[in-house]
Amino acid sequence: MDFTRRKLLKTAGLASGALLAPHIWVPSEARAAALKKGEPLKVGVLFSLTGALAVPEEDSTLVLQYAFDEINKSGGVGGVPVEPVIVDAKSDFNVYSEKTKELILRDKVIAIFGCYTSASRKAILPTIMQRDHLLYYPTCYEGAECTQNTICTGPLANQHSKDLIPFMVQNFGKKVFFVGSNYVWPKESNKNAKIWLEQAGGELLGEEYIPLGSSEFGPVLNKIRDAKPNFIFSTVVGASDIAFHKQFKQEGFKVDQMPIASLTTGEIETRAMGAEFGAGHFLSAPYFQTLDNPTNQKFVEGFLKSPYGKNGTTHYNMEETYLSAYVFKSGFEKAAAAVGFENVTPRAIRDHSGGIRVEDAVSPEGLIWIDDQNFNTWLKPKIGQCQADGTFKIVKAADAQVAPDPYSIYPDIGVCTKDGLKAPDGKIRKNVI
């Protein structure tokens, strides 16, 4: 297996246990024998219900349960019900890695839905790839990755910050300050953002990263006050994101003079911090609760009235997670039609998922489809501004679905294909992370 560790950073050590103990694993081919027509399909749900990442990830767990309930009431997947095996990863990269092994070996799940941060995704990918298993990753991420074991339903950098940066420069000014959580996604996302900023004629005044889960932004805000940017570009996540917005206002910063443009601060974060702390700031995402279409209205009303809608709002990450359940349903059923129900493996699902569409009648954000080469999602980017009531007014939306491009700022590296990363010389490397 030729997977690259150049971007694992500190998470490599957390995930290494999966590579050091291959003798504990059953062969992946044994997965086919575990499927029996009429028995429920077990899937892993691996998000954090506690800790610093619980704010977005608890809702991902809740909306997956809602989606599978919805699917089961309509006949299930391949004629059988889905049985989610729910795990609390506790916002701990070691736990993500350990529980991935348990879900595959002990629980014998056919696929895993999980992770919010790229750090947690990279912690479990060595195990996923070693076992030729399947991860549905349902949120935005930085790209520069090409595996044959993931399906991603969130936007890549070329589908959000590429629009957000020039929008902010045009409307608020050229000077920007970057603030992010200290792990791979913010840093790699900001490499993309710097290119979009340069193309827009902007100027980067500073770049700061704070530990994941930290709530102390005083020193960073002092640097921002001294730099006097026109806007802040934020890749701060989880509980830290809430603390950042609250301290921004408490320190006397004015949103009309220096708004925060974020890739992560949506309805659920705004609800957690209080609408007064989110109002006026911006988010780039493919989904907002205020989208005006019949499918979204049905989704919002149904989810909020269900036992899973306890937190009182929908959110881009929740919707992307919801979509992943329907992508799984279509992929499994296509694989079963091709190879037979009892012969379906995680890899077979992935290989039959290219080109799968989730139509307007099912997708709250509107039609999306899975790219048949890189297995990311074609979607319509949007930009919203938070209002006084915590909802978002859409201020810009793409006219058509934008192709996902994992290597948009690295054209010389190659192109992600269904078989691996194809370099300009024609050589293909599998499982590049």
Question: In terms of domains, do 23 and 149 share one?
Answer: yes
Question: In terms of domains, do 150 and 167 share one?
Answer: no
Residue 279 lies inside a defined structural domain of this protein: yes
Question: In terms of domains, do 99 and 150 share one?
Answer: yes
What are the b/e assignments for 233-265, b being 16+ CB within 10 Å?
Answer: bbbbbbbbbbbbbbbbbeeebebeebbbbbbbb
Cα 122 from Cα 132, distance rounded (Å): 15
Residue 196 lies inside a defined structural domain of this protein: yes
Q: Of 285, 307, 338, which marks where a domain is finished?
A: 285
Query: Using an 8 Å Cβ cutoff, are 85 and 107 in contact?
Result: yes
Sheet holding 357-358, edge to edge: 357-358, 368-370, 377-378
- Phi/psi at 262 (nearest 5 deg)? -125, 160
Question: In terms of domains, do 222 and 322 share one?
Answer: no
Cα 88 from Cα 310, distance rounded (Å): 18
The total number of structural domains in the chain stands at 2
How many Cβ atoms sit within 10 Å of the Cβ of residue 16?
A: 15
Check residue 167 and report its DSSP letter: H
Residue 5 lies inside a defined structural domain of this protein: no
Closest CA to 174 of 197, 158, 190, 140: 197
DSSP-derived pairing of the beta strands 41-47 and 112-114: parallel
Question: In terms of domains, do 319 and 411 share one?
Answer: yes
Residue 216 lies inside a defined structural domain of this protein: yes
Cα four-point dihedral sign 52, 56, 62, 67:
negative
Question: In terms of domains, do 222 and 335 share one?
Answer: no
Question: In terms of domains, do 257 and 123 share one?
Answer: no
Closest CA to 2 of 425, 422, 424: 422
Cα 32 from Cα 85, distance rounded (Å): 19
Tokens of 7: 């971007």
Residue 396 lies inside a defined structural domain of this protein: no
Question: In terms of domains, do 133 and 246 share one?
Answer: no
Q: Of 257, 285, 313, which marks where a domain is finished?
A: 285
Question: In terms of domains, do 20 and 152 share one?
Answer: yes
Residue 337 lies inside a defined structural domain of this protein: yes
Closest CA to 402 of 428, 364, 363, 369: 369
How far the first Cα of the chain sits from its last, in Å, is: 11
Cα 7 from Cα 247, distance rounded (Å): 31
pLDDT tens per residue, the chain (433 residues)? 343 333 333 333 333 333 333 333 334 443 434 688 889 999 999 999 999 899 899 999 999 999 999 999 999 999 999 999 999 999 999 999 999 999 999 999 999 999 999 999 999 999 999 999 999 999 999 999 999 999 999 999 999 999 999 999 999 999 999 999 999 999 999 999 999 999 999 999 999 999 988 999 999 999 999 999 999 999 999 999 999 999 999 999 999 999 999 999 999 999 999 999 999 999 999 999 999 999 999 999 999 999 999 999 999 999 999 999 999 999 999 999 999 999 999 999 999 999 999 999 999 999 999 999 999 999 999 999 999 999 999 999 999 999 999 999 999 999 999 999 999 999 999 999 9
What's the CATH number where 68 sits? 3.40.50.2300
Question: In terms of domains, do 166 and 139 share one?
Answer: no
Q: Of 232, 259, 285, which marks where a domain is finished?
A: 285
Residue 123 lies inside a defined structural domain of this protein: yes
Write down the pTM of the prediction: 0.91
Question: In terms of domains, do 259 and 312 share one?
Answer: no
Give the chain's mean pLDDT: 92
The dihedral region occupied by 314, where left means phi > 0, alpha psi between -120 and 50, and beta the remainder, is beta
Question: In terms of domains, do 72 and 143 share one?
Answer: yes
Q: Which domain holds residue 213?
A: 158-285
Where is 383: in which H helix or E strand? strand 382-386
pLDDT at position 285 is 97
Residue 394 lies inside a defined structural domain of this protein: no
Query: Using an 8 Å Cβ cutoff, are 417 and 407 in contact?
Result: no
